Amino acid sequence: MARELGDTGFGVFTLGLSVATLVTVFGGFGQDGILTREVARDHERVHLYFANTLTLKALLLVPALAVTAAVTFALGVDAQTRTVILLLGVAVAAELFTATCLAVFQAYERIGFLPVVLIFQRLVTAIVGIGALLAGAGVVAVSAIYLGGALAALVLATALVFRRVVRPRFEIDPSRFWPLMWVALPVGIAGVFGTILFRVDTAILAAFEPDSVVGNYGGAFRLFEATLFLSWSVGTALYPVLSRLGPNSDPPAHLVFERGLKLALAATLPLALSAALVGGPLATFVYGSDFEQAGEALRLLAPAIALYPVTHLAGVLLLSQDRQVALAAAHGVVALANVAANVLLISLFSLDGAAVAASLTQALLAAGLLAAARGLLQDVSWARVLAGPALAGGLAALGMAALRDDLGPALAIGALLYVPALVLFERLAFPADARALWRFVLRRAE
């Protein structure tokens, strides 16, 4: 899309997706997290939560989309951008309904169905979208294709829930709405602030800079977002397990968290190093010569890539242990700081300022969430978590730095140094962790 539409057209899509995500944020107001936690503890609760969660989402999403359409028209937003925002808004709404089905898979620990749905959606969208772009389609047509992929994923996810997992009774009980919203409220607030953390920078940048600059930042940020699935994968598998564990369970919750965080960091750190050391050539290789500015922004986003596993899994731990109020408080404070930092840094440094703000706020969020979870983490051995990835990452960084002007060899030497060093160190220093993580990965792959 970036290559065919250029930085201006890609900027319109990036802005549209950011606005659509912001205005639909209340549709996913924490209900899915509560569904997963409660159904993981008692599968019979699926009949209580499934239909009421979907209905609540519909009641929150439809007015939000209607208001967005009216406001963009009243503000005089051009017709193309308005159409893109509306199409992507409906697409995000469909994805939020799909997320409820994914929450059921997670609660039943049928994790294998999540990639089935998500990869299906991505492949359909990519194949049809690339074909349309090569045939000359514009940003509106691409947005419509994105919507089609989201609707197809919703149909597939619903079919898998009912045919392969469980048949929830579709019993809508309005008297359950308020209790469900009340329990989910802190999670929803955290989700709102989390969305602000990920989307408000683009909206603020658009107020200061033209679409071409927004497109360059969008390119860098999409590469950052492409790394998040590693942390999501670990968190998705850990959440239902942690929901049933506690400080004195067998195994204790802190040990499961410790090993999960080690796995997520080990998988993510080499990507952060790649962004820091070869971000410029990588952005140009992916997007083309129009996106030279994206390279520096990607380098500045490297700390955020490395920190995200900590923030995500600390949040998963808090939610699994019924600490959702602390989760919401930490996200709220950091989101306010993020808005202020973006306004200041973007006004001074344009898209580079937005990237710095993203990394700074990830660091602040990691500190806040770890502080909120300190009572749950007192027995965590940080040396066990960090030693292997740090050692292997240091070796890989030396090799990549020597070849940083040549993208392919730099990435190859980084991988050749990182993987063997990490595996060897973990097998020698922490063999029990290595065996446990290997069994965990095999089990989740089934």
pLDDT, tens digit (0-9, with 9 covering 90-100), for 292-336: 999 999 999 999 999 999 999 999 999 999 999 999 999 999 999
CA 329-105-61 angle, 5° bins: 55
pLDDT single digits (tens) 376-409 = 998 999 999 999 999 999 999 999 999 998 999 9
- HEC profile of 177-230: HHHHHHHHHHHHHHHHHHHHHHHHHHHHHHHHCCHHHHHHHHHHHHHHHCCHHH
Averaged pLDDT of the chain: 93
pLDDT tens, residue by residue, 247-290: 888 889 999 999 999 999 999 999 999 999 999 999 999 999 88
Using 50, 70 and 90 to split pLDDT, how confident is the model at 444? Answer: low
Integer Cα distance of 225 and 198 in angstroms: 9
Q: Judge whether 168 and 46 are in contact, CB under 8 Å.
A: yes
- Rounded to an integer, the average pLDDT of 220-247 is 94
> For 334-369, what is each residue's pLDDT tens digit?
999 999 999 999 999 999 999 999 999 999 999 999
Per residue in 17-28, pLDDT (tens digit) is 989 988 888 787
CB 283 within 8 A of CB 206: no
Token pair 């947005």 is found at 143
Q: Residue range 421-437: average pLDDT?
A: 89
Query: Which long-range contacts link 373-378 to residues 24+ away (Cβ below 8 Å)?
Result: 373/314, 373/317, 373/318, 373/323, 373/326, 376/247, 376/253, 376/254, 376/257, 376/317, 376/318, 376/321, 376/323, 377/254, 377/257, 377/317, 378/254
Please give the pLDDT value at position 250.
86
Ramachandran region, residue 172 (left: φ > 0; alpha: ψ -120 to 50; beta: rest): beta
What is the number of residues in the chain? 446
Closest CA to 372 of 327, 319, 331, 341: 327
Q: How far apart are CA 340 and CA 446, in angstroms?
A: 45
Residue with token string 């979870």: 373
What's the mean pLDDT in 154-177?
92
Separation CA 344–CA 270 (nearest Å)? 31
**With 70 as the cut, is the pLDDT of residue 441 above it?**
no
Please check whether residue 362 is in contact with residue 304, taking contact to mean a CB–CB distance below 8 angstroms: yes
Contacts 24+ apart (CB under 8 A), 227-231: 227/268, 227/271, 227/272, 227/305, 227/308, 228/308, 228/312, 230/264, 230/267, 230/268, 230/271, 230/309, 231/264, 231/268, 231/308, 231/309, 231/312, 231/313
DSSP 249: S
Q: Is the pLDDT of residue 446 over 80?
A: no
pLDDT in tens, 374-383: 999 989 999 9
Query: Is the pLDDT reported for residue 442 higher than 80?
Result: no
Query: How far is it, in rounded angstroms, from Cα 193 to Cα 222?
Result: 19
Q: What is the helix (H) or strand (E) element at residue 321, kind and residue range?
A: none
Q: What is the pLDDT of residue 445?
A: 52
CA distance 232 to 112: 14
CB atoms within 10 A of CB 110: 17
Residue 161 has pLDDT above 80, yes or no: yes
pTM recorded for the entire structure: 0.82
**Has residue 87 got a pLDDT over 60?**
yes
φ, ψ for residue 77, nearest 5 deg: -65, 140
pLDDT score of 248:
87
What are φ and ψ of residue 141, in 5° steps?
-65, -40
**Is 374 strand, coil or helix?**
coil
pLDDT at residue 185 in the model: 86
pLDDT digits (tens, 9 = 90+) for 126-135: 999 999 999 9
Helix, strand, coil distribution of the chain in percent, nearest 5 = 85, 0, 15
pLDDT in tens, 26-73: 787 788 999 999 999 999 999 999 999 999 899 989 999 999 999 999
More confident residue, 173 or 444: 173
Instruction: Report yes or no: 299 and 271 within 8 Å, Cβ to Cβ.
Output: no
Query: What type of residue sits at position 47?
Result: H
176-180 mean pLDDT? 81
| Residue 443: band (very low, low, confident or very high) from pLDDT cuts 50, 70, 90 | low
